[in-house]
Structure 1
Amino acid sequence: MKDWASPIVALTLFALLTPGLIFQLPGKHRAVDFMNMKTSLISIVVHSFIFGLLLMLFIVVLHIHVYV
């Protein structure tokens, strides 16, 4: 049995936290822009930081496991 939690969580977070897809922190004209499909270097850094924190939360702190 293999633990599929890490790839599933990482893929889901990556898809949801892509800058400009659903939301962008910080936005071009506001603090948060929604669905603008544009990005900036600072927004990439902020989204990467949030991605890392959430990934550590789900995998290290909460010990999420999915066995198949």
Structure 2
Amino acid sequence: MADWGPVFVAVVLFVLLSPGLLFQIPSKGKVVEFGTLQTSSVVIFIHSVLFLALAAVFMLAVGVHVYLG
């Protein structure tokens, strides 16, 4: 059976950490803005680092496993 845990974690984190979709760190005037749908290279870099760090924590340290079938 295939382990779908890493796939599930990656998809959920990708949706949640898409820059500007739910929130944006840093924003132009504040530290956090919600639902702006505007990005810059700094915002993309910070969200990418957050994605990689959280994905590593959930896949390696926590060990999320999902088996189907």
- What is the TM-score of this pair, normalised by structure 2? 0.95
RMSD: 0.5
Ranges in structure 2 where 5+ consecutive residues have no aligned partner: none
One-letter code aligned to 1:28 = K
Q: d(CA) in 2 for partners of 1:10 and 1:24?
A: 19
Structure 2: distance between partners of 1:30 and 1:40: 14
> What is the correspondence of 1:1-68 to structure 2 with a 5 Å cutoff?
1-68=1-68
Supply the distance in 1 between the matched residues of 2:31 and 2:62 (Cα, whole angstroms).
30
Question: Which structure 1 residue ranges, 5 or more long, are not aligned?
Answer: none
TM-score (norm 1): 0.97
Percent identity between matched residues is 43
Paired residues in the alignment total 68
Could you tell me how far apart the structure 2 residues matched to 1:28 and 1:34 are? 12
Could you list the structure 1 runs, at least 4 aligned residues long, displaced by more than 3 angstroms after superposition: none
